[in-house]
Amino acid sequence: MAEVLGLKCMKCGREYSPRNALLVCETCGSNGILDVLYDYSKIQLSLKELKNDSQNSLWRYRKLLPLNDKTRISPLQVGMTPLYSLKDMAKTNGLKGIYIKDDGRNPTASLKDRASAVGISKAIEAGSKAVCCASTGNAASSLAGFAASLGIPAFIFVPKRAPKAKIAQLLIFGAKTIIVDDTYDRAFELSIETSIRYGFYNRNCAYNPYLVEGKKTVAFEIWENLGYQLPDKVILSIGDGCITSGIYKGFYDLMKIGLTDHLPQIIAVQAAGCNPMEVAFKTGEFKEQKPNTIADSIAVGIPRNRLKALRALEESKGDCISVSDDEIKQAILELPRVSGVFAEPAAATAYAGFKKLLNSDLAGKNENVVILITGNGLKDIDSALSVCQLPEPIEPTMKAVEKLLG
């Protein structure tokens, strides 16, 4: 395990001992998301050790995770997802490399599994008998799956308007699913109150600081996938900012333990119909928004982990951009056709952002660019169908086939 020095509030800077069971700042409450601080001098992880490690999962980085060495972990195989090179596209556009990191290949088909893997073990360390979160999407189904894999009860709050398909995953994993006749924000608040009232472990990523630590493993893998080299840019979509915070933390850790010497640029992509992070990054001022976009997983009007995410963008000399829903729809269609990777709308948003950069100032730069795909398209078949044209049926004859194919 990585020795945790303390937990530091992203808002007021107050530090807490790791022995303290607090998940958020005492002063700032749930606005004061904590950052996990390590004693990097005590983390010994060599390139040779990694190369010889045959573990095909994120547990190969256990030395960089805030978990005791003996804490029970879920048997579900998480991480070590594939990185695909789009060689022809890179060549055509004068880039050194274009890579798709497909995190839709995780157990419940999203990057959230990295967070759940760590979160469920932190719940065990905390002695909690059950876990709890609020979500309508990937985090909820991920927690439900990991809880099932260890036989731990899960209580999940979803707003009434949550799509039935996403609720199906919760029910199938046997999670106690509490449908709240109100907004997501109210479901979120109730999940916090319930976890305190019943002693459930809270897995909300924009609340519990240890979840981002699970997400950071995707940065380690990108570096490994590229032959222990950093890319120049990582492009990913951003909602409440947890994945952006996680990928930064991973690259930061690698630098602090001496395996790398700088941070790659992190480019976060929002939907134009909901871009509070872009506004905050560019103007320095945060304003709540009402989401209006097809990319539901990043339709977040109040990005709760914005302070960590803004730090990630600033310190990596990155950027925050936005793309229109038309550009996202185009990406939903184009990405699977150039790569064989089917992404959910929020994940395809990263590819849309990449295409926008390519059309402005990225082409010809001879850089290595990684596009992070955070969720599988099978999670949202309806959105996929909405951008496809269903062909008309033909008569069951070769004549009709020949007429169609020419």
Site for a second copy in 334-363 (CB under 8 A): 336-342
Give the single-character DSSP code of 161.
T
Rounded to 10 deg, the angle between the 306-315 and 276-283 helix axes is 50
Residue 294: strand, helix, or coil:
coil
56 or 366, CB closer to a second copy?
Answer: 56
Identify the three-state secondary structure at position 270: strand
Chosen residue from 38, 59, 61, 146 binding a second copy by CB under 8 A: 146
Contact residues for 164 (Cβ-Cβ < 8 A; gap 6+):
none
The reply on whether position 55 binds a second copy by CB under 8 A is no
* Among the listed residues 6, 18, 174, 301, the single contact to a second copy using CB under 8 A: 174
Q: Which is nearer to a second copy, 309 or 369 (CB)?
A: 369
Q: Where are the beta strands (DSSP E) in 21-67?
A: 24-25, 29-38
Cα–Cα distances (Å) from 304 to 6, 165, 243, 341, in that order, read: 21, 25, 12, 29
- Applying CB under 8 A, the span of 24-32, 64-72, 186-194, 361-369 interacting with a second copy comes to 186-194
Report if residue 291 touches a second copy, rule: CB under 8 A.
no
Contacting residue, 12, 47, 168, 363, with a second copy by CB under 8 A: 168
DSSP letter assigned to residue 110: B
Please name every residue paired with 370 in a beta bridge, in sequence order, or none if there are none: 99, 234
The one among 1, 22, 50, 179 contacting a second copy by CB under 8 A = 179
Does position 223 bind a second copy by CB under 8 A? no
Q: Which range touches a second copy (CB under 8 A), out of 76-84, 206-214, 237-245, 283-291?
A: 76-84
CA 244 to chain centre: 7
Alpha-carbon span 350 to 337, nearest angstrom:
16
Nearest distance, CB of residue 220 and a second copy, angstroms: 16
Nearest Cα neighbor of 239 from 315, 157, 297, 319 is 297
- Scanning residues 85 to 124, which ones bind a second copy (CB under 8 A)? 85, 88, 105, 107-109
Residue number, 39 or 182, with CB nearest to a second copy? 182
Strands 201-202 and 176-180: unpaired
Q: Give the nearest distance from C-beta 314 to a second copy in angstroms.
A: 34
- Would you say 308 and 241 are in contact if contact means Cβ atoms under 8 Å apart? yes
Closer Cβ to a second copy, 21 or 398, answer by number: 398
201 near a second copy (CB under 8 A): no
Asked if 47 interacts with a second copy (CB under 8 A), we say no
**Cβ at position 258, least distance to a second copy in Å:** 25
- 77 in contact with a second copy (CB under 8 A): yes
H/E run at residue 9: strand 4-9
Tokens of 17: 């001992």
Q: Provide, rounded to whole angstroms, the least separation between the CB of residue 336 and a second copy.
A: 5
- Identified binder of a second copy from the candidate list 82, 94, 258, 364, rule CB under 8 A: 82
| Residue 270, amino acid | Q
Binders of a second copy in range 244-263 (CB under 8 A): none
- Of 101 and 311, which has the nearer Cβ to a second copy? 101
The count of residues interacting with a second copy (CB under 8 A) is 74
60 in helix, strand or coil?
Answer: helix
**Max Cα-Cα span within the chain:** 76
Smallest distance, Å, CB 112 to a second copy? 14
Site for a second copy in 358-397 (CB under 8 A): 376-379, 381, 384-385, 388-396
SS3 at position 222: helix
By the 8 A CB rule, do 216 and 253 touch? yes
* 30 near a second copy, judged by CB under 8 A: no
Closest separation in Å from C-beta 281 to a second copy: 32
Yes or no: say if 240 and 303 are a contact pair by the CB < 8 Å rule.
yes
Comparing CB distances to a second copy, the nearer of 266 and 371 is 371
Task: Write the CB contacts of 306 (distance below 8 Å, at least 6 apart in sequence).
Answer: 240, 241, 276, 277, 280, 286
Indicate the residue among 175 and 321 with the shorter CB distance to a second copy.
175
50 binds a second copy (CB under 8 A): no
Residue 324 burial (CB count, 10 A): 14
Is there binding between residue 5 and a second copy (CB under 8 A)? no
